[in-house]
Chains A and B, each alone.
Chain A
Amino acid sequence: MKFSRIIIFCFSAVLFAGCKGDSEEVPRDDFDKAAMLTNMAEEVVQVSYSEWKSKVELLKQKASEFETTPSESALTTMQDAFLEAFKSWTYCSVFEFGPAAEKSLRLKVNIFPIDTAQIEVNVLAGDVAFGNAQNAESVGFAALDYLLFENEEELISSTPRQAYVVANIDWIRELSEEVSADWNSYQSDFISNTSSGAGSPLSNLVNEINYEFELLKNARIGIPLGKKTLGVTRVHKLEGFYSEHSAELSLSNVSGIKNAFTGGTGLGLDDYLNDLDARKNGELLSAQIKDLLDELESDLESVNLKYAIENEPSTLDPMYNRIEQLVVLLKVDMTSQLGVQITYQDNDGD
């Protein structure tokens, strides 16, 4: 008697709650996570990596030409090719999961600031062990940035210097080829796992977007701007300090992050958020994130980071403020709304 009464109460309660839910909201359409991951893999990650690979290939060509006939014009051609390859990397940097994570690609390809003394030691030594911990800060794009732009005349005249440049490019080229090849075999794993648990492709994607964005905030902008050093600027810590193309590199980095968020023209996290009807203060979360990323891109289009940091750091405040807002939207709102697990740790939801 009592038991059956409770049962009836339960079902009417559920029915009541259910009706309320339905009348208020539109039903979810059938969002296809697998389709989103397929788009991410094929159109975003693979396309970006192959673009990077071909830019590095081109750089290799130009470097070989320079090595055979060193001249000022050959150097300029190589420098241009280098900047293209470098930007293409900062665009790919966010994909540090799967094959890239296995290789710790970020650490191998682009550690900055670099150890210039160690670079000079390596130039003299000739035979350098790439991938060795001791050389972590003297190889990769940041090292090339120094070698190609710091002392141009010496580069034109010094064969060991040229050899170290070529060796660095070969190192990057090898990695770019490997990661592309590895993705071909990893892709099916990436697409077939549509869970949101720790270590799932979706969780990795979300985590790396957050990690890369915090790298932008701290390493690319905040640290040179003196945010960690009591306002004393550290301009030499800029990415691309020697080539003075820091803003372009950061811009390409932001575009890469945006691409990882939107999935380009196909399905991305923005569509997934929209499907979940994720909002903040009534407005679609995805739109707020995209708008801020667009604004950040135009900030970076019109700034010379090195000049601004050296002469008028406060002009960067509005941009930095946008970056701070974005960190919150990405790390707090997006991650929470997607129900993605960040760590493997057991939890009981508090």
Chain B
Amino acid sequence: MGIRKLWNNLLFSEVTMYPLVTFRILFGALMFISIARFWSKGWIESQFIEPLLHFKYFGFHWLPELNGGDFYLLFALMAISSLGIVFGAAYRISAAVFFLSFTFIELTDVTYYLNHYYFVSLVSLILIFLPANRLYSIDCKIGLVKTALRVPAWTINLIKFQLTLVYLFSGIAKLNSDWLVDAMPLAIWLPAQDQLPLIGAMFKWRLTPYIFSWLGVIYDLFIPIFLIIGSTRWLAYLAVVVFHLLTWSLFQIGMFPFIMIVATLIFFSPASHGKLQKMVFGIPDMTLDQAVRNVRWISLPITAFVIFQLLFPFRHLIYEGNPFWHEQGYRFGWRVMLMEKAGYAQFTVRDNNGQSIEVQNGDFLTPTQEKMMSTQPDIMIQYAQFLKHHYNKMGVDTKGVYAQSHVTLNGRGSRPFVDSSVDLASQTDSWKPKTWIIPFDL
């Protein structure tokens, strides 16, 4: 069987769409819960409205700044559209609205970048194009779309592919000496949890971080395969549940574990999904059964998407040095829970008369913003430019903005991070290497 034939099979063979229905309902519901959680914790206020400034994503500086109330409106829109996804009501519009509002909020401030936000963005983008409302949905009920049982395989395989990438890339990223030889950062994080009931006691042992590190990397690299292979699927899914519940109890990682526990259900066979759904929703009317038409040209955008997703996380390779240190090409690469990094940056605004002002970061940034800014060079540029603008407005004859910064990575002693003689306000963020980052030497 040629590669082309295999590819065509993966995209266009006909399968029943039960897994899509499960995915639609559970993913949507989880999004609704996430939004409610975010809202109830007061984070709309503290993360989006209260900060004096927002750090933008590269390439997205043009996005408009929202006012206080608009954020609530957007979150409300997000919540409603997530329910639209769950019930398959005005499904495609709901998916599109959810994707746009979620991604807009995500792009508001790079401080809050999380891999799982990126994952949610990608999945909701994919959802727009999936016929996930063709069964057990309000759209079907009111006759907006015709019920269908059979769909082309790509609709399910694309989500499986995306999930596989999350695990695979975070596994590949763990293949480094800090993780494998020094058990870092778990050697810092686990002992800090030694008060936990039952498992806490073993975090006092020196060996434990090694066991967790190695099991973690093996899990990440191989779990997709074991989820795909039918004979190991149940065992693998059990591992998924245990692994993510463990990380949830150990680390402050929000909804990510639950998203993965729910999303990986898609690996189960259409038949098993169908069995469950027939029990819950009743047997669908087979006389209505149609197959969702195969559109051959969809192969092109899917291929492009797949190639992009395979290559983009590797872009850090074009930069010299340790990506954990310089973080160029670091985001959007499924590097999750890989390093313990902290920093402190003392910014100094110099004027043209040889005098200077020391900046108190707390005057301008929230603790979270300061924490992220102190270790991420592209945010430092934005901050320096903000400071220059701010002090110019106050009448300071600004020459430049400089930073004395120290960063610690995975328990190594803190060391200078950026060249303190470089005016950061005059730097522009780009794909080019940032030569003012002091190289990381072991």
Residues of A within 8 A of B (CB): 3, 6, 10, 13-14, 17-18, 20-22, 25, 27-28, 30-31, 33, 194-198, 214, 218, 222, 227-232, 276, 278-281, 285, 324, 327-329, 331-333, 335-350
> Please, what's the 1-or-0 string for B180-199, where 1 marks a CB less than 8 Å from any CB in chain A?
11010100110111111000
Please name the residue on chain B nearest to A324 by beta carbon.
B346
Inter-chain contact B195/A336, CB cutoff 8 Å: no
Please pick, from B116, B327, B353, B356, the residue contacting A348 in the complex, using a CB distance under 8 A. B116
Inter-chain contact B356/A230, CB cutoff 8 Å: yes
Residues of A within 8 A of B39 (CB): none
For the complex of A and B, 8 pairs with smallest distance between CB atoms: A280-B413, A346-B254, A339-B192, A230-B355, A349-B337, A194-B195, A336-B342, A196-B192
Inter-chain contact A14/B414, CB cutoff 8 Å: no
Please pick, from B181, B204, B211, B255, the residue contacting A20 in the complex, using a CB distance under 8 A. B181
Inter-chain contact B210/A21, CB cutoff 8 Å: yes
In the assembly, what is the distance between CA of A10 and CA of B414, in Å? 34
Inter-chain contact A339/B189, CB cutoff 8 Å: yes
In the assembly, what is the distance between CA of A196 and CA of B353, in Å? 47
Inter-chain contact B411/A337, CB cutoff 8 Å: yes
Given A17-B214, A222-B358; 18 other pairs, CB 8 A cutoff: A14-B215, A17-B181, A17-B210, A20-B181, A21-B210, A27-B206, A28-B204, A196-B192, A328-B406, A332-B406, A332-B407, A332-B414, A335-B342, A340-B192, A345-B43, A346-B252, A349-B337, A350-B339
Please name the residue on chain A nearest to B333 by beta carbon.
A350
User: Which stretch, B10-18, B267-275, B360-368, touches the partner chain A?
Assistant: B360-368
Please name the residue on chain A nearest to B183 by beta carbon.
A21
30 A-B interface contacts by CB (under 8 A) = A10-B214, A10-B215, A13-B218, A14-B215, A21-B207, A21-B209, A28-B204, A230-B355, A230-B356, A232-B355, A279-B413, A285-B413, A332-B344, A332-B406, A332-B408, A335-B342, A336-B408, A336-B411, A337-B411, A339-B188, A339-B192, A344-B252, A345-B43, A345-B252, A345-B368, A346-B255, A348-B114, A349-B339, A349-B340, A350-B336
- Residues of B357-413 at the interface with A, using a CB-CB cut-off of 8 Å, are 357-358, 360, 362, 367-368, 371, 396, 404, 406-408, 411, 413
Residues of A within 8 A of B252 (CB): 197-198, 341, 344-347
- Residues of B105-145 at the interface with A, using a CB-CB cut-off of 8 Å, are 112-116
> Closest CB of chain B to A227's CB: distance in Å?
4
Residues of B within 8 A of A20 (CB): 181, 210
Inter-chain contact B396/A28, CB cutoff 8 Å: no
In the assembly, what is the distance between CA of A278 and CA of B413, in Å? 9
Please name the residue on chain B nearest to A336 by beta carbon.
B342
- Residues of B219-236 at the interface with A, using a CB-CB cut-off of 8 Å, are 222, 226, 232
In the assembly, what is the distance between CA of A332 and CA of B406, in Å? 8
> Closest CB of chain B to A172's CB: distance in Å?
26
Residues of B within 8 A of A3 (CB): 226, 232
Residues of A within 8 A of B204 (CB): 28, 30-31
Residues of A within 8 A of B207 (CB): 18, 21-22
Residues of A within 8 A of B164 (CB): none
In the assembly, what is the distance between CA of A3 and CA of B41, in Å? 44
In the assembly, what is the distance between CA of A28 and CA of B342, in Å? 24
Inter-chain contact B192/A14, CB cutoff 8 Å: no
Please name the residue on chain B nearest to A288 by beta carbon.
B413
In the assembly, what is the distance between CA of A332 and CA of B370, in Å? 12
Inter-chain contact B251/A349, CB cutoff 8 Å: yes
Does B66 belong to the interface (CB within 8 Å)? no
Does B30 belong to the interface (CB within 8 Å)? no
Does B7 belong to the interface (CB within 8 Å)? no
In the assembly, what is the distance between CA of A341 and CA of B335, in Å? 20
Inter-chain contact A227/B357, CB cutoff 8 Å: yes
Inter-chain contact B211/A347, CB cutoff 8 Å: no
> Closest CB of chain B to A311's CB: distance in Å?
19
> Closest CB of chain A to B173's CB: distance in Å?
10
> Closest CB of chain B to A21's CB: distance in Å?
5
Please name the residue on chain B nearest to A193 by beta carbon.
B195
Does B341 belong to the interface (CB within 8 Å)? yes
Inter-chain contact A343/B371, CB cutoff 8 Å: yes
Please pick, from A231, A340, A344, the residue contacting B41 in the complex, using a CB distance under 8 A. A344
In the assembly, what is the distance between CA of A279 and CA of B187, in Å? 14
> Closest CB of chain B to A5's CB: distance in Å?
12
Residues of B within 8 A of A280 (CB): 413-414
Given A21-B207, A231-B356, A341-B252, the answer on whether A336 and B338 have CB atoms closer than 8 Å is no
Residue in A10, A28, A349, A350 whose Cβ sees the most chain B Cβ within 10 Å: A350
Inter-chain contact B360/A14, CB cutoff 8 Å: no
Residues of A within 8 A of B180 (CB): 17
